[in-house]
Amino acid sequence: MPATTTATSGATGTAGSGPRKKKKGRRARLLVIVLVLALVAGIGYGAYWSVSTVRASYPQTSGTIRVDGLDGNVEVKRDGYGIPQIYADSDADLFRAQGFVQAQDRFWEMDVRRHLTAGRLSEMFGSGQVETDSFLRTLGWRKVAQEEYDTVLSEETKKNLQAYADGVNAYLKGRDGKDISVEYAALGFTNDYKPSEWTPVDSVAWLKAMAWDLRGNMQDEIDRSLMTSRLDADQIEQLYPDYPYDKHEPIVTEGAVSALTGKFDPAATDAGTVDPNAVAGATEGLNTQLGALSDTLDEIPALLGPNGNGIGSNSWVVSGRYTTTNKPLLANDPHLAPMLPSLWYQMGLHCRQVSETCKYDTAGYTFSGMPGVIIGHNQDIAWGFTNLGADVTDLFLEKVTTDGYLYDGKTKPFTVREETIKVAGGKDRHITVRETNNGPLVSDRSSELETVGQKAPVTNSAPDRADGYAVALKWTALQPGHSMDAVFELNRAKDFTSFRQAARHFEVPSQNLIYADTKGNIGYQAPGTIPVRKQGDGTTPSPGWSSAYGWKKDPIPFDELPYEYNPKRGYIVTANQAVIGEDYPYLLTKDWGYGSRSQRINDLIQSKLKGGGKISTEDMQKMQMDNTSEIAALLVPELLKINIADKDVREAQKLLEGWDYTQEADSAAAAYFNGVWRNILKLAFGDKLPKELRVEGECLNVRPPKSSGPVDEQDRLVRECGRRSPDSAQPDGGDRWYQVVANLMDKPDSEWWKSPRSRKDKATETRDELFARAMEDARWELTAKLGKDITTWNWGRLHQLTLKNQTLGTEGPDLIQRLLNRGPWDLGGGEAAVNATGWNAAGGYEVIWVPSMRMVVNVGDWDKSRWINLTGASGHAFSAHYTDQTDKWVNGELLPWSYGTNAVAGTTVDTLTLKP
């Protein structure tokens, strides 16, 4: 029988607008004004809109449904949060049912996402999406996904993908758009779009979008180049300091690539030698004005969150000899963009009897639109992910003509393909994609990019500049791979050997994989296709015209990638820090996360184990909510030493006395400190960065770069306004900036501490003068936001989370946003804390990435595991399960995670039987 709750609209995956000169947000958003107006108009249809249309899209969750293609009966058991557990007798039936059930709850999200990954948003939303589609067609996600399906993936994987697609299509069969989700009813007012059948390649393409958002240091590569217009090489190096190995442990602390075997050996101590070409600097002066490319990338939909330091995650696993359960405990919480519905979909996939024809008994977090479980456990092992952050992209300057591109003194022809973009309500658009041996020319996709490289300082060996250089993108994900095979192999893995075999195929995106099994073993593997560069370290663009650069034919061999198995210390922590020490013979990246979260987790574990203590499931849960600020511990003692004369500023300074550096939502001290931190960054660094990195609309009077304008005009100030949206501007305040400031603390007269006078403040010349000015600025900033009475201040009022429907909920009339969006919630936590409710210090205090889910797996006693999602199972906006987990997520609570047959039966509220 149909569900009895009522909704007015569904939710969707992230989508975005194409490049434009004036940006309105870091994550590109669908500008669907006509759709919003249609929805407003639809409200006038009274009972038809509010009852008939809304209820038509609600899924049936009990009773019986006939489904084409099934071989036997399948049961779908949902608990009180709408989380489904599926029971079948064959792999095909299991994945058919998974596709059917996910389409019931999330098809609008799935449909928008597949149009995004294929560069086909214009088919749904019209001409406003053409430029986004053009860029995505240039990258060719869908093309590569098709190649993977046709030539690389195993036959078993293809069968599973096809079964999933069959299940989705069985749900769609006979249903109009309005019967699937209320958004289609609204879309029907503006065009005649109808959902098409799902295909296996639609699922594979999602991995390309995931890999794009986790691609590593591409933005850092651009930013370093942009900084050359204002800063010299030494200054840029100070803003990208080396990883602090002396205070933040890497993931792997035991083992090396053995000089005897040539493989990574956790017990080896005879490390090889670092490849000198891997760490040598790029060609001197090879930096360029890449602002236009940065603008374009900023507008491409970021499905997982703002690319940069915020994209991360925590995971750790503790051996049973150190736990109260005597079996391993494993925790994971990926840090991604807050979205409605959540990126994750909780689900169990159970063969009633595991056999050769039905191989799965697994549960965890899935992606709507893709079969299998991404993070979770089966009956033998548990696993988790964090982003490894390997540098798998490089930008290449290409000297091009109408005939081709220059390579080793000869002109080579482009690889060319034509793409047709269909536009709802408009004419088809046609684009030509050109590729060099280094990848597609991303600079072809914007008129602003035609002159990229015009001012790039290069060596005398570079070809004549003429009209500048084009920019090509080389990226490991643009080659067909086996990552979809790896998903199913992980789901079936029984031990560390089969786990590592699955990891061997997890080529993109490169992730830190942690492991535990019922026999008490724990482990870690660094997988991924990670390039080996002929020259350079990937931190700046490279010359595409010389074979001396580029990538070697083969990536780092999997057998030489770091791993650990039952390390002596008894636990493993991954939180985007360096994977391994400096003597590792390959360059994984120069742009790690700087280890604040990982070291805090290490410290928490060590303190718990001190004196023979053991760690419980509850301890793991508490660690996930730890919100201690590392930068506060460094700065507050110095801030309290400064003599403040202004009584109002002194009153705020006193908030920091006795503060324990924890960032609870109700903490006034946390609010004030983070305000001070934001203003320190702005005064010391932000105002010295080029406009391409500063927040859009923030204007400064600056001297022009020495390379521009007549000499007699060099001292004349010009008005420059920032160009970057608030959630991707710099300095973002992440733990890279922690390290930058830490390195300067014993240099009180550094040039970085100098800031010009303002209308109300004199110039600062020293560290403490700048700190004093930041405390004053923070006092009045928070007064404006929170009121003059500091007893009413708290961090949560500044640091709020609003969950937004990613199409209709991001723009348009307030009425529609109120219907579809939820929040705000006042949050604790903060940037680079374990409870990583991230915010960008350059842009403000709003929460822009979060622990998108949390889980603590009780290995071997699976039914005592716990989990939580950011939102809920449903994508239907007024379903009881739209955001029914959010309040608990905010409070740090976890739900019981039923897995075994009896436990699932005990929590089942609705049972739906799917019959052939």
Q: How far apart are CA 633 and CA 742, in angstroms?
A: 11
CA torsion 232-233-235-241 (nearest 10°) is 160
Judged against a pLDDT cut of 70, whether residue 791 lies above it is answered with yes
**Residues 6 or more apart from 669 whose CB is under 8 A from it?**
655, 656, 659
Judged against a pLDDT cut of 90, whether residue 221 lies above it is answered with no
Judged against a pLDDT cut of 60, whether residue 906 lies above it is answered with yes
Judged against a pLDDT cut of 60, whether residue 679 lies above it is answered with yes
Q: How far apart are CA 794 and CA 111, in angstroms?
A: 41
Looking at residue 654, what is its pLDDT?
A: 98
Looking at residue 464, what is its pLDDT?
A: 46
Judged against a pLDDT cut of 90, whether residue 865 lies above it is answered with yes
Query: Nearest-CA neighbor of 78 among 874, 894, 888?
Result: 874
Q: How far apart are CA 371 and CA 96, in angstroms?
A: 9
For the record, the structure tokens of 8 come out as 């007015």
CA torsion 112-505-481-544 (nearest 10°) is 110
pTM: 0.91
Q: Are 484 and 157 in contact (CB under 8 A)?
A: yes
Q: Which of 207-216, 471-480, 673-682, 804-813 has the lowest mean pLDDT?
A: 804-813
Residue 236: band (very low, low, confident or very high) from pLDDT cuts 50, 70, 90: very high
Looking only at the bridges linking them, the beta strands covering 84-88 and 344-351 are parallel
Q: Which of 97-106, 275-284, 535-544, 691-700 has the lowest mean pLDDT?
A: 275-284
Judged against a pLDDT cut of 90, whether residue 213 lies above it is answered with no
Read off the pLDDT of each residue in 464-480 and give the average, rounded to a whole number. 79
pLDDT digits (tens, 9 = 90+) for 588-643: 999 999 999 999 999 999 999 998 999 999 999 999 999 999 999 999 999 999 99
Read off the pLDDT of each residue in 68-80 and give the average, rounded to a whole number. 97
Share of the chain above pLDDT 70, in %: 84
Query: Nearest-CA neighbor of 373 among 513, 491, 200, 507?
Result: 491
Residue 19: band (very low, low, confident or very high) from pLDDT cuts 50, 70, 90: very low
pLDDT digits (tens, 9 = 90+) for 392-443: 999 898 998 888 999 999 999 999 999 999 999 899 999 999 999 999 998 8
Amino acid identity, position 511: Q
pLDDT digits (tens, 9 = 90+) for 341-368: 999 999 999 999 999 999 999 999 999 9
CA angle 863, 868, 874 (to 5 degrees): 110
Residue 292: band (very low, low, confident or very high) from pLDDT cuts 50, 70, 90: low
Bigger pLDDT: 370 or 58? 370
State the CB neighbour count (10 A cutoff) for residue 571.
Answer: 20
Residue 805: band (very low, low, confident or very high) from pLDDT cuts 50, 70, 90: confident
Looking at residue 472, what is its pLDDT?
A: 92
What's the 3-state SS for 125-191?
HCHHHHHHHHHHHHHCHHHHHHHHHHHCCCHHHHHHHHHHHHHHHHHHCCCCHHHCCHHHHHHCCCC
Looking at residue 470, what is its pLDDT?
A: 86
pLDDT digits (tens, 9 = 90+) for 174-203: 998 888 987 887 777 778 889 999 999 999
Read off the pLDDT of each residue in 9-13 and give the average, rounded to a whole number. 30
Looking at residue 291, what is its pLDDT?
A: 55
Query: Nearest-CA neighbor of 438 among 408, 400, 394?
Result: 394
pLDDT digits (tens, 9 = 90+) for 124-151: 988 888 988 999 999 999 999 999 999 9
Amino acid identity, position 673: F
Read off the pLDDT of each residue in 285-292 and give the average, rounded to a whole number. 43
Q: How far apart are CA 867 and CA 860, in angstroms?
A: 16
CA angle 297, 302, 308 (to 5 degrees): 75
Looking only at the bridges linking them, the beta strands covering 329-336 and 850-851 are antiparallel
- Let me know how long the chain is: 916
Q: Are 432 and 422 in contact (CB under 8 A)?
A: no
Residue 821, judged by CB atoms within 10 A of its CB (0-12, 13-18, 19+), counts as buried
Looking at residue 706, what is its pLDDT?
A: 56
| DSSP H/E element including 436 | strand 429-436
Looking at residue 197, what is its pLDDT?
A: 97
Bigger pLDDT: 714 or 130? 130
Read off the pLDDT of each residue in 662-681 and give the average, rounded to a whole number. 98
Query: Nearest-CA neighbor of 251 among 377, 385, 375, 381?
Result: 385
Judged against a pLDDT cut of 80, whether residue 544 lies above it is answered with yes
CA torsion 220-221-223-224 (nearest 10°) is 110
Judged against a pLDDT cut of 70, whether residue 301 lies above it is answered with no
Judged against a pLDDT cut of 90, whether residue 285 lies above it is answered with no
Looking at residue 467, what is its pLDDT?
A: 53
Judged against a pLDDT cut of 70, whether residue 9 lies above it is answered with no
Judged against a pLDDT cut of 60, whether residue 569 lies above it is answered with yes
Average pLDDT, the chain: 87
Residue 661, judged by CB atoms within 10 A of its CB (0-12, 13-18, 19+), counts as buried
Share of the chain above pLDDT 90, in %: 71
Q: How far apart are CA 121 and CA 128, in angstroms?
A: 9
> Greatest CA span in the chain, whole angstroms?
84
Read off the pLDDT of each residue in 322-344 and give the average, rounded to a whole number. 95
Looking at residue 282, what is its pLDDT?
A: 36
Q: Is the dihedral of CA 20, 25, 28, 32 positive or negative?
A: negative
Q: Which of 246-260, 559-573, 804-818 has the lowest mean pLDDT?
A: 804-818
Please, what is the angle between helix 668-684 and helix 767-786, to 10°? 130
Query: Nearest-CA neighbor of 251 among 7, 507, 597?
Result: 597
Q: How far apart are CA 59 and CA 55, in angstroms?
A: 9
Residue 444: band (very low, low, confident or very high) from pLDDT cuts 50, 70, 90: confident
CA torsion 57-58-64-68 (nearest 10°) is 30
Judged against a pLDDT cut of 60, whether residue 448 lies above it is answered with no
Read off the pLDDT of each residue in 580-584 and give the average, rounded to a whole number. 95
pLDDT digits (tens, 9 = 90+) for 742-758: 999 999 999 999 998 87
Residue 474: band (very low, low, confident or very high) from pLDDT cuts 50, 70, 90: very high
Read off the pLDDT of each residue in 308-312 and give the average, rounded to a whole number. 56
Q: Which of 95-99, 313-317, 713-717 has the lowest mean pLDDT?
A: 713-717
